[in-house]
Amino acid sequence: MPGPGGACLLLALAAFATFFADVAFGAMRMQGFLGDVAEMLMLLAASILFVAGVLCREAAENKKDIQGRKSS
């Protein structure tokens, strides 16, 4: 398993890749596989997962930094 927040970041990547693929298919005049609402929800999920992953990583980094200061 990846480090702290890694699962959220991988899920965000998967959600954004799905959103991007749908938009790319639509741009090539092919039938997109997501509707308008599903497309919006996919982008929302990708954004929320990305923010959660970044915040988890930042919290882990701050915790490590605080522990390093206490041991000094």
How does pLDDT run across 4-63, given as a tens digit for each residue?
Answer: 788 999 999 999 999 999 999 989 988 878 888 999 999 999 999 999 999 999 998 888
Quickly state the pLDDT bin for 72 (edges 50, 70, 90): low
Assess contact for 15 and 50: CB atoms under 8 A: no
Helix (H/G/I), strand (E/B), else coil: 3: coil
- Distance between CA 65 and CA 2 in Å, rounded? 20
